[in-house]
Structure 1
Amino acid sequence: MLVCQCNMITQKEVEDTIISMLDADPWQLIVPAKVYHTMSKRGRCCGCFPNVVETIIRVTEEYHQRHDQSEGAEVVTYLDQVRALRERYGSRFNERRQKGYRAA
């Protein structure tokens, strides 16, 4: 699946980059700009960043679940919390326009 049409980046490329970053340091903070920098790309319109954030969270959770299974550690899921925060705060003040705003 194509994640970023500006750079022609697929979902698999993003996932592989995140896993390679986690292999280097499993507890680092991974953000979209860091993923793009690792792939030698840059965000152009940045419309794909919300999807990349969800991919980062999902892949990171799966990575830690796979590697912590033997130890029996509990992995806290953050994806649902991030989605709830996005629904609560993210769409309400989109560019500070009113709901009935029309450009033309």
Structure 2
Amino acid sequence: MLICHCNVITAKEIEETIIDLLDADPWVLIVPAKVYHAMHKRGRCCGCFPNVVETIIRVTETYHARLQAPGDVVSHLDRVRALRVQFGSRPHEGRTTSHRAA
């Protein structure tokens, strides 16, 4: 599945990059910018970042569950989705309808 249409990056490529980062340090904080930097890419329109965040959470949870790390594995994906519902999404980026770029 294509995640980033600007850079033509698939979900599998992102998942492999996340696993590589976790193999280097299982407790590293992974953010979309770190994933893109590891892939030698950069976010252009950044519309894919919400999907990348969900992929990071899903892959990290699966990775730590596989390791059977001591303690409970906390599911953050439901919390992220709840925050999206609570605060909503702003597709217009705060611009008014009369905003013109030119």
User: Could you say what secondary structure the match of 2:3 adopts?
Assistant: strand
Equivalent residue, structure 1, for 2:76: 78
User: Could you say what secondary structure the match of 1:96 adopts?
Assistant: coil
Distance 1:74 1:28 in 2: 17
Q: How does 1:35-46 map to 2 (within 5 A)?
A: 35-46=35-46
Structure 2, gaps ≥5 residues long: none
Distance 1:16 1:93 in 2: 29
The number of residue pairs the alignment matches comes to 100
Which of structure 1's runs of 4+ aligned residues deviate more than 3 A? none
Distance 1:91 1:46 in 2: 14
Percent identical:
68
Distance 2:91 2:24 in 1: 38
Distance 1:53 1:82 in 2: 9
- TM-score with structure 1 length normalisation? 0.85
Distance 1:91 1:41, change over 3 A: same
- 1:87 alignment partner, one of 85, 92, 100: 85
Equivalent residue, structure 2, for 1:96: 94
Distance 1:22 1:91, change over 3 A: same
CA root-mean-square deviation: 2.2
